[in-house]
Structure 1
Amino acid sequence: MPSRALPPPPPPVQLRTWPDRQTLLTDRGMALDELRKRHLGVGRLLLLWLCGAGAVVGWALLSLVIQLFEDEDPLVFVMGPVFAILGLGALVPSVIGVALGIRRDRKIRELTDAWLALDSDPASDARLRSPGVSTVWLLSSVVLCALGLWASLGAAATAEPGRDTYGDVAFGMGAGLFMWLTGLIGIRKALGHYRWAVRRLSPAPARGGAHR
């Protein structure tokens, strides 16, 4: 999931040069707002779906290889390797992209916690809850999970000998599985954000003076 560089962490205590608390809160708010967009923005949701779609396309191409073998098509020795390379070329980067996105989310959470620890600003911190965007993540991911389960289980349950090939079943079950996993990642992220917001953004006494 390519993206720009993340905001830097707050400087160590001995290197902090904010002239007053308001300047600290301004920089803190800007960093937290940028981190919020990088973590839970609609763009991140679309990138997750793009990786999921890439995995489905890659699996579809790999399923074509199975169908060529089943049909005993002589083109299997020519087109089989081509479809296999194209399939892996779509599937592997998609899986890597999701893994990198999960790793990046952990880094974003660490940076967010570090900036939060500097001080307290209820007006700025309230925006981090992002209830609307997190709800979009949750509901859309639930729908994607349901569609994935329907596709995967339906492909296995409705398959009939002589009508559906192993390639057809493999494609349906695999595509549904990737859809389900993509939705599951989105659900986990939305619920994780909710738990984090309850734990970290609950009303607490102001932590004034942290900028000294």
Structure 2
Amino acid sequence: MIISITLTLSLLLLSSSSFFIEAAKASNQCGLPPFVDDLPNSEKKEILSIWKDYKSGDDCTDQRRETQEIIDNLTSDIRAVLFGRPPSFLKDAPISVRKMFRDIMHNRTLKHDEKKQELNNLAVQILNQKQLAEFRRYLEEREHQKKEFENKVNNLSPAAKEVFHKLERLKAERAKIMDVMTDDVRKELRQLFRRSKN
């Protein structure tokens, strides 16, 4: 299980995750969120599918709600990458380089150590010396945060710890299901939960 963000950061990101819906309501604009291309493939497909049949001028309340549900179910790691500031080593990097790092960070098939190794290999290949030094500081900081969070989890009561681990397994299982779901099944399930306009 990959736990690389402190509980505080996770809570901050959770509290701001409704930003897309609130911003869309305030501006009366409907359509794909600007970060759709930065999402992991399964969530990207799901959001593209939600907005596929939308026509300008139509009510988009259902699409906004469904989009928000997907955003709310993103892992804290992915939310940090999407809505947080990029790590200092990527601050001045071209978008293509950011995307390469983001693709590894979003890869749910990699275990923590594998992800760390792939990120390190990529960093050595394409970052300059200054960025590489910042990357290494970033990794050290993330490892420190991971250990702090693991200590907090270990200090939970047995009941809270059990629920935490169940929720983490459910997130991972949901991600696996979403990754293999066909577009037709996705659409069918979305229709099942869509509110009637009558």
TM-score range for the pair, normalised by the shorter chain length = under 0.3
Question: Normalising by structure 2, what TM-score?
Answer: 0.25
Question: Which has more helix, going by share of residues?
Answer: 1
Question: Normalising by structure 1, what TM-score?
Answer: 0.24
